Structure 1
């Protein structure tokens, strides 16, 4: 996963500071997925690039695999709110990782292009435009099946102000109108390094 990204302008940084405090739920028509289909099994694919996302079934189910639930280095900050979101924090209080998953029916998805759709979601989250976000964003990877394995491409942005750093990583699945994101927010710690831990411990699970 890329550990470097262009530094945000002061305006973009201020926007991200604002969005970190605000949940995505309520901004769009969202639907939290029900339990994954019991008859389905996790996809055996070791990768899920943006291009491969176009080949998923519209009825596929995508969700986070929670790897912090039993991790002794992380604690619950906000439990599952029933709207697709929950937050963990490091035991020292330096960093939080805010997760969200769900279906968004009126998001500006770009047909057949998960990368462009992910940029659109990033832009909405930081109150910007895709035209402004795309040159600033980099392509990273969430993990699939096995923590730390990588393979699920995402779009991410990084910002810093003083001792605070943050990183937002988003993957939109155009076929299912689904979005998963994580926001890592750190004070006195490296958000990019913490995002590496997030991706090592948590996975993206797709069932079809």
Structure 2
């Protein structure tokens, strides 16, 4: 169902497109930058595996619950936007370490290319029995900006990715993932009590 910002005209949000970065997450993986200017249809499922909830080859997915949304996400303000950004990255870590992307469904719009890339990559690896171990994502110094009162927000900060290992279904390490540090520009909408990520740009932070 198409969602609007409380039936208001779509705000003209214009952020400069930043250069895409290449992050080594389970091999060479280009995370393309994306910028959204208005809410769009939610990507209902990234693949048929998402609909099942657990991707074949990911034995830990059935026993590892997804992180619960923090209490701050119940409010459509700047603190809620930061909490929603943190929660997305927590769900990314959960997906990458369990092979299940079910908890990501509906958390982002189809305008968020990086979000789709993460989901697709998890599904591809889980299909061959590969997940990640460790590799936590931490959002440092998050700063919210209210673009349209009560409905559109931006969050900036620095995303720190810890080193991780690629493991097969037997728990054997098959590769490693380098750590990384990226500047973040995320836009989010708040509608009918639900947060959704509309766009996410990542770039190497300025020294």
Is TM (by shorter chain) over 0.5? Answer: no
TM-score, with length taken from structure 1:
0.31
Higher relative contact order (CA 8 A, sep 6+): 1
Q: Which has the larger radius of gyration?
A: 2
